[in-house]
Structure 1
């Protein structure tokens, strides 16, 4: 079996230099790199895909970093992106940051070592990725759904403020004035913008907002939102007649709480989510929601990424904001007095 020592001996370099070329962990001059690549090709040491990638400085591989792989919306978005990339001749590596800064940085380092051609990421709140350093290595980075004010890179997102505004406005139009909002309290741009959209609608229509009706669930699980709404229903004498949630996952947890208190949807409490997950159609009642144009988001992200990889125009920063669509189903209804 051929080893790194054999390649180093053939190329007349140190084993550490061979390792740097393979892992992309240190700068190696073009002349030395070519000698090592030729030795690898002659000895059939490295997979052809990687060897061709080293030769052209391309591997046709893209990294996708998600905060929660199990999330229905994100898993479907990942599937769409992967399919579109495959159509362009690229493979995708998925990494889970769990919304943890250190795990996010480690994911970027791992992807860099694999010599990926680009990175797609839903960044953490305090993202510490050195975008400029990656650009110097001709690695484009595109943020999806979230943006960081102090990081100048491409962003593809939905108009979160408008989405939650439209949801709240619709409920107000049905006669609801006591409307509760359930957010995750993660501090991400998405969380902040959606909450701001809710508040703006309440203010624009001259409604007063009880502080108890602005709920911070403190997490992303079904149980977080179930418990948060259950605490309100159990301990507060004034009940909301409608609920807006940061996403559909929060809505499902809230539905459980409403059912546990023997209240009816939408007769007693209307509820509307955000994202339009595939499961929404199968809930009873079917969930009204704000639809994020997932296919359009995936197509836009891939189009921008491929253009940057092929044309190396990393300095032409793009920010694309997609329009949300209100989807009305059976979980919302007119206020019953």
Structure 2
């Protein structure tokens, strides 16, 4: 039994396993107990640590996720998108010989908690999950640790590094695909919690609709939670109220919403894609488990992770001062949840 095996079973990163096994802060109590139980069950015996540390191993980087923002909950590591992102970051740092500490922080005390963590164990730099954070919150972190790369959001006017998926392109690709299939009566499922990513996706989708002289009708615009994967009663009632005036396709701002849409439509005996095509965004693992398999927009989380790690290391090792805003292009993944309206 190795740390890799424990991380796989517990569905967390290797860094989270290391923190839990060594009694260090940075993981929730629930996660710590789960890891310790797995280690005990499989009789994990850690290798004796070497007393010799090279310069790389002595450098510690911190990954910070801010919880209670409407999108990032305390259980964020169990969500496919963030789990995959963190694992990619962890692997990127490990492959380069550096250590990574994962810290979850309540957004209401962001500045104070970052300050306390840095006093307890100073880091060489911070990778921060900026989902739903404000400009002021991000600026406050940059004052405490200038070696900062922010993921999953972007503020162009801040002199801070941002790396994010190209949301505008991704939503444009989704709309373009639906239009190419022949859909004209297209609906939009948006998140009840707003953030940069969702706003940019809306911008991209509206752009492709406008370019094709199409409009999203108000009655075909729906709201739902971006994190609950279940039958959505409000959406269900909205569909019933349409009394047959259904859109032929729906774009959903994330895969969790797309999966909830499919579950809800199934309960109403509305078939996907025969009655309504559904397309999502993110390409999470669950998108291939739902039936029918979800057509979606692939976010290159591995590329985002490697670029973020490389940028942070360049700032530390090579004193690179230039700040960057990097947009990583997306890719359309065609599966089985969309078809031409003429195929009904």
Q: TM-score range by the shorter chain?
A: 0.7 to 0.9
Aligned residue pairs: how many?
282
Secondary structure at 2:108's aligned position in 1? helix
Q: Which residue of 1 aligns with 2:99?
A: 91
Secondary structure at 2:137's aligned position in 1? coil
**TM-score when normalising by structure 2:** 0.74
**TM-score when normalising by structure 1:** 0.76
Q: 2:127 aligns with which of 116, 120, 132?
A: 120
| Deviation by residue 1:4-44 (Cα, 9 ceiling, x = unmatched) | xxxxxxxxxxxxxxxxxxxxxxxxxxxxxxxxxxxxxxxxx
Which blocks of at least 5 consecutive residues in structure 1 are unaligned? 1-46
Q: Which residue of 2 aligns with 1:261?
A: 268
Give, in whole Å, the separation in 1 of the partners of 2:80 and 2:64. Answer: 16
Whether 1:158 aligns to 2:162 is no
Q: Which residue of 2 aligns with 1:303?
A: 310
Give, in whole Å, the separation in 2 of the partners of 1:317 and 1:185. Answer: 32
Do the aligned partners of 2:248 and 2:341 also contact (CA within 8 Å) in 1? yes
Q: Which residue of 1 aligns with 2:36?
A: none
Q: Which residue of 2 aligns with 1:234?
A: 240
Do the aligned partners of 1:147 and 1:189 also contact (CA within 8 Å) in 2? yes
Give, in whole Å, the separation in 2 of the partners of 1:179 and 1:280. Answer: 21
Which blocks of at least 5 consecutive residues in structure 2 are unaligned? 1-48, 67-71
The RMSD of aligned alpha carbons is: 2.7
Give, in whole Å, the separation in 2 of the partners of 1:219 and 1:296. Answer: 24
- 1:1-337 to 2 correspondences below 5 Å: 59-65=59-65, 67=72, 68-97=76-105, 101-113=107-119, 114-123=121-130, 124-129=132-137, 131=139, 134=142, 139-223=146-230, 226-237=232-243, 238-313=245-320, 315-336=321-342
Do the aligned partners of 2:225 and 2:257 also contact (CA within 8 Å) in 1? no
| Deviation by residue 1:122-170 (Cα, 9 ceiling, x = unmatched) | 22332533647746x6641111121135532111111101101110111
Shift of residue 110 of structure 1?
3.8
Measured at CA, do residues 48 and 133 of structure 1 come closer, stay the same or move farther in structure 2, by a change above 3 Å?
A: farther
Larger Rg: 1 or 2? 1
Do the aligned partners of 2:60 and 2:101 also contact (CA within 8 Å) in 1? no
| Deviation by residue 1:180-206 (Cα, 9 ceiling, x = unmatched) | 111214332101001111111111111
| Deviation by residue 1:251-299 (Cα, 9 ceiling, x = unmatched) | 1111111101111111001111111112222221111000011211111
